[in-house]
Amino acid sequence: MPTVNTAKRPTLTGHEMLARYVADKPKQLKTKISKAINAGGVVWRHPAYPNRESPEICTRKGLDFLSDGKVKTTWQELWQGSLMPSITWDAIGRAQIGGKCWSWMMVSAMSHPDTLCIKSAKRQSKLSPAMAKFLGDAKEKFKVDSNVIWPVKSNYVQQLATFAYLKNRGSCAQLLNIYMVNADGGPTKQVWQEAIDSSNQSLGLTDHVTIRRHMHQLFLPVI
């Protein structure tokens, strides 16, 4: 059984895998997603100008899918001041939760456990006051000890903090991570789960937090 470090890197990216499902098996994908997040229905939200390379499912940056307003503007100002590239989602959708509420669904598709790797650090990197508060609020939402270091350059950390930012402002949102399984000799479900558990442990995350009910995972074989 391969480990996280020895698993072969698939030739397909997570986004390319997701695009194949949307194009070739859209009903099967929506059924699997609905089951994973306990949704009554799922619809994709496309930007005004789709990606030419992958028009059937488009990457979205940051919170550009939100309507103009304080939540979106505040986040944009925070991120612009951080001098870091904006977080990218592989897809944005809407999911019907509880039979009534249509919630935002932010999707990341991954092909190798390296994307979840959390590099240990002895001290928190220097942050702007706004970014420090951004991470601090996220850790509080996840009930993580304030002394636990969250490396802000980690895409996984950015994903979690952005999700917490939305939840702290009363937005209906679901976080869905899709993992590519057994692609070209790549990581198995067991290898993925070990990487997920290791990352969550490094970040001080536990299952006994309300916000974790809105975080979901789906393992998909490549087609």
Residue 5 lies in a domain: no
The mean predicted confidence, pLDDT, of the chain is 84
pTM: 0.87
The percentage of the chain sitting over the pLDDT mark of 70, rounded to a whole number, equals: 87
> Is residue 32 a contact partner of residue 220, using CB atoms and an 8 Å limit?
yes
Helix (H) or strand (E) holding 161: helix 155-168
pLDDT at 123: 66
User: What integer is the mean pLDDT of 141-150?
Assistant: 90
Residue 146 lies in a domain: yes
In three state form, how does the secondary structure of 92-133 look?
EEEEEECCCEEEEEEEEEECCHHHHCCCCCCCCCCCCHHHHH
Q: Which domain holds residue 36?
A: 14-46+57-221
Residue 181's CB is within 10 A of a number of other CB atoms, namely 20
**Candidate from 73-77, 84-88, 119-123 with smallest mean pLDDT:** 119-123
The percentage of the chain sitting over the pLDDT mark of 90, rounded to a whole number, equals: 41
- What is the number of structural domains in the chain? 1
User: What integer is the mean pLDDT of 165-176?
Assistant: 93
Residue 6 lies in a domain: no
User: What integer is the mean pLDDT of 73-96?
Assistant: 85
> Is residue 94 a contact partner of residue 65, using CB atoms and an 8 Å limit?
no
For 109-143, b where at least 16 C-beta lie within 10 A, e where not — what string?
A: bbbbbebbbbeeeeeeeeeeeebeebbeebbebbe
Residue 36 lies in a domain: yes
pLDDT in tens, 28-78: 999 999 999 999 999 998 765 555 555 556 788 889 899 989 999 998 888
> Is residue 10 a contact partner of residue 184, using CB atoms and an 8 Å limit?
yes
pLDDT at 4: 42
pLDDT at 152: 82
pLDDT at 219: 96
Q: What residues pair up with 94 in beta bridges, in sequence order? A: 43, 104
pLDDT at 128: 78
Residue 52 lies in a domain: no
